[in-house]
Structure 1
Amino acid sequence: MSKRVSTSLLSILSVLASLLVVGSVGQQAGAAPAAFVHPGVLVGKAQLDHVRQQVNAGAQPQTQAYQAMLNDALLSQSRAPHPRSVVECGPYSNPNLGCTDERQDALAAYGNALAWYVTQNAMYAKKAISIMDAWSAVITSHTNSNAPLQTGWAGSVWPRAAEIIRYTYSGGWANLSRFQSMLRTVYLPVVIKGSNSNGNWELTMMEAAVGISVFLDDKADYDTAMAKYLVRVPAYVYLTSDGALPKTVPSMGLNTKAKIVSYWQGQSTFVNGLTQETCRDFTHTGYGIASISDVAETSRIQGNDLYTGDVGTRLRYALGFQAQYELGAAVPSWLCGGTVHRGLGPVTEVGYNALGNRLGNVMADTRTLVVNNRPAGDNILFVAWETLTHGDQPN
């Protein structure tokens, strides 16, 4: 069999396997709704209304979180965006030619969009639009080894900002179609492909693809992204019900125990809530947990609650498992050789609010970590201000 035929066959088998996995969770599979809800990427209108009501009433945790956001340098009204035609990001953003600028500008647009909704001050909406316009006018591509991940990081945030502005600000957005074209041509073709790297890559890329698809009212790409997500989540968070070894993504060829253990950072003992990157470090694990949570939240807003099924179960265990060690619990010798690298980041609010507050699961360690981290700010990648948007959020 030729290499080309073999590669094509593997690709077909991978897609079929993905469909089988998605089909196995039935109606939980997260197909696109008949009509997308707007605004509907990570935060919906009812949630935004609650945030505004809380801040106007001086209630917590939103008021403190809102003031912290306003004090963030990213929301300075004198801050200028720094768009580039080609953003070049190598390993760990080295070289860093526009990588930090793009991520921070996307977060700045999102923060200004949130500030607009809370205050109804058009100054913030216009600032968000000016940042999005600056980038849509010039960017053409991302390059170097971290290009897919960078595209996912920025691509996760742009549609959050754009959804709020497009569907709640009546002052007009002259370059809306150009921004849509940017997402359609520069971001979506990259992220929709997914990744066979560490799991946080594909999870972030699917978060971007899902959010962009909602903004573009693109049901086909939404379904494609969700299918990849629903294969990746079980391959990222282990449950004992999976069997002796973690699940895998078919396209990765992890067909022996030795390969799986190597991919799981040398970890050979598997317990509920362990992630594929726990023994790498908690920072990258946090990125994966954040995107699992964010996609589930967007799906819930769109009418399909993934928190009540397999995704929610894995997320609940992942949050609890990491939280206990982030809080300082002694690390057993069987886990990561007895040493973990902490630094989970501000990634717990969305998942905890859904699973602990809304669904009533007892998640003591996660709750403690959530409260300790408040108000959760931004980590200069793609996670930002989640105490404001999701802290004890009833909607």
Structure 2
Amino acid sequence: MKTKRLCTVGVIFLFFVAAACKKEMGSAAEKLALNNHDTVFVHPGLLHKQSDFDRMKSKVGAGAEPWLSGWHQLTANPHSALSWQPHPADTVYRGSDGVHRENYAQLYNDIAAAYATALRWKISGEDAYADKSIQIMNAWSGTLKGLGGNNDVNLAAGLYGYQFANAAEIMRTYKGWAPADFSRFQKMMRNIFYPMNHAFLTRRERCMSHFYANWDLCVMNSILAIGVLCDDRDLYNEAISYFKYGAGNGAVRNAVYFVHPDGLGQWQESGRDQGHTTLGIGLMGAFCEMAWNQNDDMYGYDNNRFLKGAEYVAAYNLGDAVPYKPYTNCVGVVQNEISSGSRGNNRPVWELVYNHYVNRKGLAAPNCARFAQRVRPEGGGGNYGPNSGGYDQLGYGTLTCTLK
């Protein structure tokens, strides 16, 4: 009798061991596939591919809406003007270190201009705008030596890293960008922005939920974008792996940290304020789109988990009631109710999310659709206030992301 019982226990034990091994093997296989991904990147292949530019050019040329209204938003923005002059700095400071003056506005304004003029070139075909974009990027790659400030410098390295890489990715095919100058820009991104990005994601601290989701997300975006710009598969894989398996709040299962029975996914910063939740949607949307253009579907990862989070954030910021699970973390943050701070915050982030899930994939995203309608046509840097928050997204999604 005792022998029979021991055999039964042994069988049960082996069953669970086999199940655990199967799960671990599946995870290992997924990681192996990630590392063995085709090493050839799509170029241009960050937020926009050449097919996207062909669509924009065709629709604007035909006077079709809403692309034409999006184009007018772009051309009316002073950052897209040929008169724009860059103001590069040797060191960019974000966050007071008690010694240096913060000057990061010089960088985010010039990035907005480099991106806006790059778009104008791709759609109008006028080389003067390409030359302006290149002028701005050459000025910075020939001047910038480092990033400084307090801990907020990680936000600068993340936000401006991925945005600058996007402007350069658009312009990489322009015959007027000298190979040596493009190489110098790549080195700036790899040697100044990436090391700070990498150090942040690989930090070792007692509590990895110390930083809110937007910190990790902007850094993940920068690493992924620099990986594509520099044709470095290891950097790209680093960002993709963190999205899936990372310990911090930028990983998708931590950013959309609880899925309610109604299918809405509570965003990790919902108890903090709505300005940061909508920023998070913009950052995760940008990450998913850049990966999509390299043939990796992060939008759909974990049963469209990002869609559930975006629908939750959109619903609450449109005035709807949403369920809320009290949030706590390991540094003592306790948020027992959803925050109404900055509720209704407008950012140019919704066209991208709406067009992917609804027009590209044919899924239901009614709250994202309503928010996209509300902010259409989306503007860019400078259209949402003069401070850094108005430049957290590259914008112009009505022009660039509308599919039909």
TM-score, structure 1 as length reference: 0.80
Asked whether 1:65 is paired with 2:67, we answer no
Comparing 292-301 with 169-178, greater Cα deviation is found at 169-178
User: Displacement of 1:77 after TM fit?
Assistant: 1.6
For the Cα contact (< 8 Å) 1:110–1:161, is it kept in 2? Answer: yes
Q: Distance in 1 between matches of 2:27 and 2:347?
A: 33
Which residue of the partner structure matches residue 281 of structure 1?
Answer: 273
Q: Distance in 2 between matches of 1:321 and 1:370?
A: 14
Give the 5 Å matches for 1:1-395: 23=27, 26=30, 32-90=37-95, 97-144=102-149, 145-167=151-173, 169-173=174-178, 175-195=181-201, 196=208, 197-230=211-244, 231=246, 232-240=251-259, 272-310=264-302, 313-330=304-321, 337=337, 339-341=339-341, 342=343, 343-378=345-380, 379-391=390-402, 393=403
Q: Distance in 2 between matches of 1:28 and 1:103?
A: 37
Q: Distance in 2 between matches of 1:159 and 1:118?
A: 19
Matched AA of 1:337: E
- 1:116-166 Cα offsets, whole Å, 9 max, x none, are 000110010000000001111111111122111111111111111111111
Q: Distance in 2 between matches of 1:332 and 1:28?
A: 38
SS at match of 2:265: coil
Q: 1:142–1:95: structure 2 CA closer, same or farther, 3 Å change rule? A: same
| Higher RCO (Cα < 8 Å, 6 or more apart) | 1
For the Cα contact (< 8 Å) 2:93–2:102, is it kept in 1? Answer: yes
SS at match of 1:43: coil
Matched AA of 1:113: A
For the Cα contact (< 8 Å) 2:270–2:338, is it kept in 1? Answer: no
Q: Distance in 2 between matches of 1:288 and 1:28?
A: 29
Q: 1:306–1:338: structure 2 CA closer, same or farther, 3 Å change rule? A: closer
Q: Distance in 2 between matches of 1:198 and 1:334?
A: 17
Matched AA of 2:146: S
Q: Distance in 2 between matches of 1:68 and 1:107?
A: 13
For the Cα contact (< 8 Å) 1:41–1:298, is it kept in 2? Answer: yes
Q: Distance in 2 between matches of 1:348 and 1:25?
A: 34
SS at match of 1:175: helix
SS at match of 1:279: coil
**Uncovered stretches (5+) of structure 1, i.e. residues with no partner:** 1-19, 244-269
SS at match of 1:337: coil
SS at match of 1:355: helix
Q: Distance in 2 between matches of 1:22 and 1:229?
A: 17
User: Displacement of 1:103 after TM fit?
Assistant: 1.0
User: Displacement of 1:193 after TM fit?
Assistant: 2.8
Comparing 210-219 with 229-238, greater Cα deviation is found at 229-238
For the Cα contact (< 8 Å) 1:376–1:386, is it kept in 2? Answer: yes
User: Displacement of 1:272 after TM fit?
Assistant: 3.4
SS at match of 2:348: coil
Q: 1:106–1:338: structure 2 CA closer, same or farther, 3 Å change rule? A: closer
SS at match of 2:299: helix
SS at match of 2:55: helix
SS at match of 2:92: strand
Q: 1:30–1:128: structure 2 CA closer, same or farther, 3 Å change rule? A: farther
For the Cα contact (< 8 Å) 2:93–2:148, is it kept in 1? Answer: yes
User: Displacement of 1:183 after TM fit?
Assistant: 0.6
Q: Distance in 1 between matches of 2:309 and 2:200?
A: 22
For the Cα contact (< 8 Å) 1:194–1:206, is it kept in 2? Answer: no
SS at match of 1:274: strand
Which residue of the partner structure matches residue 386 of structure 2?
Answer: none
Matched AA of 2:243: Y
- 1:53-109 Cα offsets, whole Å, 9 max, x none, are 111111111111111111112112212111111111117xx9762211111211210
**Uncovered stretches (5+) of structure 2, i.e. residues with no partner:** 1-23, 202-207, 327-335, 381-389
Q: 1:46–1:28: structure 2 CA closer, same or farther, 3 Å change rule? A: farther
Cα RMSD over matched residues?
2.8
For the Cα contact (< 8 Å) 2:217–2:280, is it kept in 1? Answer: yes
Which residue of the partner structure matches residue 3 of structure 1?
Answer: none
Q: Distance in 2 between matches of 1:201 and 1:49?
A: 34
Q: 1:24–1:90: structure 2 CA closer, same or farther, 3 Å change rule? A: same
Q: Distance in 2 between matches of 1:153 and 1:277?
A: 18
TM-score, structure 2 as length reference: 0.79
Count of residues paired in the alignment: 345
User: Displacement of 1:344 after TM fit?
Assistant: 5.0
For the Cα contact (< 8 Å) 2:281–2:310, is it kept in 1? Answer: yes
Q: 1:221–1:205: structure 2 CA closer, same or farther, 3 Å change rule? A: same
Largest Rg, 1 or 2: 2
